[in-house]
Amino acid sequence: MATMTMAGAINAGMRAAMERDPKVTLMGEDIGKLGGVFRVTDGLHKDFGDDRVMDSPLAESGIVGTAIGMAMRGYSPVIEIQFDGFIFPAYNQITTQLAKMHYRSRGMINLPVVIRVPFAGGIGAVEHHSESPESLFAHTAGLRAVSPASPQDAFDLIQQAIACPDPVMFFEPKARYWDKGEVDVERVPAQLASDGGVAAATAEMGRARVARQGKDVTLIAYGPTMRLALQAAEVASKEGKSVEVIDLRSISPMDSDTVVKSVKRTGRAVIVHEAPTNFGSGAELSSRITEQAFFHLHAPVLRVGGFSTPYPGAKFEHDYLPDVDRVLDAVDRVTRH
C-alpha cells in the first residue's frame, strides 16, 4: 500500500501500463517536460523519452486524429485534453470517427484510445475551464465514459481503460486531484497478468460500487460529487436517516443493476452530479430506476445538479454547484413519503 494523491495515482497507473506494454504512448499539450498543467504526467517524459511522451501542438482535433491513426497502427495512445471546455474542437473526431470506426469496419479495426479529460468545477477557474460534458459522450454509442472518485479508483480505472479494446473517455475530477488516499499498487497489475485479465479488467471498469451502506435512501454520485455524497450521508445519519451511497464509476456503460438492487431495498433514490440536470446522466439513471424498480419506490427519484445555465464565473460557482444543503433537502423530500 502507498499513500497517493489522485493525480499521483493516475500518474502511477499510466507508468505501470507503460512499463507493461511498449505500445502505450502519451500525447497532449505540455504533458512532456512540464508534466501537464496539473502535473499528472510529471516525470514520465524523463523516464520514457520523446517517443512515448509527446508534447502536441495546440490542436485538440489534431491530437485525437493522430491518436486514431496511431491506434490503427497498433499503438495504445493515452491523450490529454488540457481542460474540459477545450474538448469541443475535437468533438467531431471523437464522435464520428473514434466512436464509430470499430462498428463501421465490422470489427476489423479496434481503437484502444484513452482520452483523459480534467473536468468539473470547484477550482475557481476562468471561463471554459470547469465544464461537465460527460453526458455528450455517454450519449454517443461506441464510447465508454468513466470517472474515478478516489486515488485507488483512479489507479485502477486508468490501467483498466488503457487495457480496454474500446475507446474510453476518462473524466478526471480536477478538484479532487490533491485528495490523498491509500492505494494498493499490486491489485490491477496482478489482475491484468492473470488469464482473461483484460476481459476481467474491462468488466470491472463498468461496475458501480457501494461506498456506504444504508437502508432509507440510495444516494448515487460519481467522480467530483462522491465526496459530497458521503458528507451528506454522514450529516443525514446524525438526523436519523440511513443513506446508502453508490459510486457509479462508469457513466457509460451504466451499471443500473447495482443501483436498482439498492433502490429496491431503500425505496428512494437521489442522484447527484455537477452537470446540469437537464438531459443529463442523472435523467438516464432516473429513467432506468423508474422502469426497473417502479413498484418499490416510495417517492419520485430526485436529481441534484448544476442549473440550466452556462457555467458561471469563479465568484459564483459555489452558488451553481451542488452542496450538502441541496443534497440534504432532496433526501428530506424523498423521506417524507
- The CATH code of the domain that includes 76 is 3.40.50.970
Q: Provide the pLDDT for residue 94.
A: 98
pLDDT at residue number 29:
97
User: Do 234 and 194 fall into the same domain?
Assistant: no
Q: What is the pLDDT of residue 192?
A: 82
Same domain for 55 and 136? Answer: yes
pLDDT at 197: 83
- Please say which residue of 205, 222, 255 terminates a domain: 205
The residue range of the domain holding 223 is 209-335
Residue of 45, 102, 129, 273 with catalytic role: 129
> What percentage of the chain has pLDDT greater than the value 90?
93
Give per-residue pLDDT as tens, 113-167: 999 999 999 999 999 999 999 999 999 999 999 999 999 999 999 999 999 999 9
**What are residue 116's DSSP bridge partners?**
80, 170
pLDDT tens across 73-85, in order?
A: 999 999 999 999 9
Q: What CATH number does the domain containing 255 carry?
A: 3.40.50.920
- Tell me whether residue 318 is one of the annotated catalytic residues: no
Per-residue pLDDT band for 276 (boundaries 50, 70, 90) equals very high
Task: Report pLDDT for 106.
Answer: 94
Clarify whether residues 149 and 65 are in a common domain.
yes
In terms of Cα–Cα distance, which of 328, 300, 148, 149 is closest to 243? Answer: 328
What is the tens place of the pLDDT at every residue in 284-337? 999 999 999 999 999 999 999 999 999 999 999 999 999 999 999 999 999 997
Check whether residue 17 and residue 128 sit in a common domain: yes
> Domain count of the chain?
2
In a shared domain, residues 223 and 179? no
190 pLDDT above the threshold of 80:
no
pLDDT digits (tens, 9 = 90+) for 243-255: 999 999 999 999 9
Q: What pLDDT score was predicted for residue 37? A: 96
Tens digit of each residue's pLDDT (9 = 90 or more) over 205-249 = 999 999 999 999 999 999 999 999 999 999 999 999 999 999 999
User: Do residues 40 and 57 both lie within one domain?
Assistant: yes
> Which of 183, 205, 227 is the C-terminal boundary of a domain?
205
